Structure 1
């Protein structure tokens, strides 16, 4: 993801809808039971979303509107299953580590910016994220690993959470400090709502990636390459028939594949026509056009 010179949106203007069940204040490490309804694991974020969603769907009356906060200082993204004690021997970057048994671990729920390669400079806050993760691991007397629904990615890396001896999520800490983006990738969504709340703390306080030194969103019409991006644009078309997709600025297709449709409602998607939105995810080229997958409502932000 390249650094864009475009004027960024004001981070403090972002607003978040979170379910009232996501936070816990217990200091004990105890299982967190995920919602039975997959829709309850989603969260629409953004300036315009609150009134629009509450008015248009009775389902959303159970959501709590937070006007750019307040993010809870006592938020705890806790372990939800038995933990495996591990040791880390190398930190590649802010979201990937190597264990002493040779396994490579990609942290669930976050995406840190990339260190420079082939003579290219680091992306903003890439070094800070790597160094912070190193310091968190070094300061931990016992490190614990926890997998979710999918245990490996296509590169053979373990997909997992890391917790310290106090049951604190290292991903949560990075998100709260603005050193990584929250990404909700199914089926590993057990802590997605909690991580969304952690990210909102950084957004509100304009920390790290959400500060003026962070990476500006990319206008959909200006996309020239793939990779992780925050795309901004106007929804110029909505399809909820055989195929579900949004079109941004007539140039980028936002794909909602069949296996992810249960997390959305067609009526709400159709209401996005003409709305300014931000879509977060990995841009790719397919059939001669740029596309981006939308797998959960966590990946959609309503712009100013």
Structure 2
């Protein structure tokens, strides 16, 4: 559910939420050192992916926008608006690209942050308008805190994707893909290199045991959390295992109540 004054403070407490809402100017909070490389956009594919004039396809770091419908499937709400806004933002001269610490994804796309001629981060501008969700995949976390601030402001103002609450209950998870989920922690178990956190539904979270703070998870039983990420449909063939699994690699994307 959307955060409000009636909700309990998440994992980091009320101070963290106040900090997220502070520093509203994008130019001050969403910059990276260095000048990057000057690039030109030739085609916008969707709200978080574009093609450059030199042929490279760039997947923006730190944001996941609603999916454009393919092969006759309908687009998700605000998908077309996110693409149109990205087209507008990258249409001017002076566009700069800063490639991530991990430079490519499994599809061969360049992973990077884009900045306009004023040095303002493009992903942050989309998030501030409610046209996507902040995400963080290690090691490309340089702007995560900035992106979370911009998302939180859009969420507080109920802009774009936050106009209707996009968070579903863990018991309602029925397919894979990117999702925001809220659920109650039922069991916590460490097996080998992973800790498994089962929610009150067909969903389990998988955390590396060496993730800082993972040792404290056993005390979470019975509490509610909100988490986001790409849910994996593992099928129904493994008896005793929950069908859906969400890998968790970054604490700042979790809100524990």
- TM-score, normalised relative to structure 1: 0.75
Q: 1:120 to 1:72 in 2, by over 3 A?
A: same
Name the SS of the counterpart of 2:222 in structure 1: coil
Q: State the superposition RMSD in angstroms.
A: 2.3
Structure showing greater relative contact order (alpha-carbon pairs closer than 8 Å, 6 or more residues apart) = 1
Name the SS of the counterpart of 2:220 in structure 1: coil
Name the SS of the counterpart of 2:86 in structure 1: helix
- The question of 1:264 aligning with 2:213 is answered yes
Which of 54, 59, 82 aligns to 1:129? It is: 82
Residue matched to 2:187: 237
CA–CA distance in 2 between the matches of 1:206 and 1:47? 19
After superposition, the C-alpha distances for 1:231-281 in whole angstroms (9 at most, x for unaligned) are: 1211001124643121111531100124xx3333422x2222111112100
Which runs of 5 or more residues in structure 2 are unaligned?
none
Name the SS of the counterpart of 1:66 in structure 2: helix
CA–CA distance in 2 between the matches of 1:247 and 1:256? 11
Residue matched to 2:49: 96
CA–CA distance in 2 between the matches of 1:130 and 1:235? 36
- The question of 1:13 aligning with 2:4 is answered yes
TM-fit CA distance, 1:12: 4.2
Name the SS of the counterpart of 1:185 in structure 2: coil
Which of 103, 106, 114 aligns to 1:162? It is: 114
Which of 269, 277, 298 aligns to 2:252? It is: 298
Which of 229, 233, 252 aligns to 2:203? It is: 252
CA–CA distance in 1 between the matches of 2:38 and 2:107? 23
Which runs of 5 or more residues in structure 1 are unaligned?
1-8, 16-45, 55-62
Aligned pairs for 1:141-290 (under 5 A) are: 141-212=93-164, 216-240=166-190, 242=192, 243-249=194-200, 251-258=202-209, 261-267=210-216, 269-286=217-234, 288=238, 289-290=243-244
After superposition, the C-alpha distances for 1:81-134 in whole angstroms (9 at most, x for unaligned) are: 440110000000100000011110000000000111222211011011000011
Residue matched to 1:49: 10
Higher alpha-carbon deviation: 161-170 or 242-251: 242-251
After superposition, the C-alpha distances for 1:207-237 in whole angstroms (9 at most, x for unaligned) are: 111112xx63222222221110111211001
Name the SS of the counterpart of 1:134 in structure 2: helix
- TM-score, normalised relative to structure 2: 0.88
CA–CA distance in 2 between the matches of 1:206 and 1:200? 10
CA contact (8 A) 1:263 1:296 kept: no
TM-fit CA distance, 1:144: 0.5
CA–CA distance in 2 between the matches of 1:207 and 1:301? 20
CA–CA distance in 2 between the matches of 1:164 and 1:275? 42
After superposition, the C-alpha distances for 1:9-32 in whole angstroms (9 at most, x for unaligned) are: 2x24289xxxxxxxxxxxxxxxxx
CA–CA distance in 1 between the matches of 2:96 and 2:78? 25
Give the aligned length.
248
Residue matched to 2:24: 73
Residue matched to 2:72: 119
